[in-house]
Amino acid sequence: MHVFDSATRFLGGNAIVGGGLPLAVGTALGDKMLGRDAVTACFFGDGAVDEGSFHESMNLAAVWKLPVLFVCENNQYAMGMALERAEAEPHIAMKAAGYHIVSETVDGMDVVAVEVAAQRAIAAVRRTSEPYLLECRTYRFRAHSMFDAQLYRTKQEIEAWRKHDPIRQLQTWLEQTGLMHSDEVAKIEAHIAAEIDAAVAFAEAGTWEPIEELERFVTMDRVPQ
Written as one string, the DSSP assignment of the chain is ----BGGGTB----SSTTTHHHHHHHHHHHHHHTT----EEEEEEGGGGGSHHHHHHHHHHHHTT--EEEEEEE-SEETTEEHHHH-SS--HHHHHHTTT-EEEEEETT-HHHHHHHHHHHHHHHHHH---EEEEEE----S-SSTT---TTS-HHHHHHHHTT-HHHHHHHHHHHTTSS-HHHHHHHHHHHHHHHHHHHHHHHT--PPPGGGTTTTTSPPPPP-
Q: What is the pLDDT along the chain (225 residues), one digit of tens a residue?
A: 778 888 888 888 888 888 999 999 999 999 999 999 999 999 999 999 989 999 999 999 999 999 999 999 999 998 888 988 888 888 999 999 999 999 999 999 999 999 999 999 999 999 999 999 999 999 999 998 888 999 999 999 999 999 999 999 999 999 999 999 989 999 999 999 999 999 999 999 998 889 988 888 787 777 666
Q: What pTM does this model have?
A: 0.85
CATH node for 6-153: 3.40.50.970
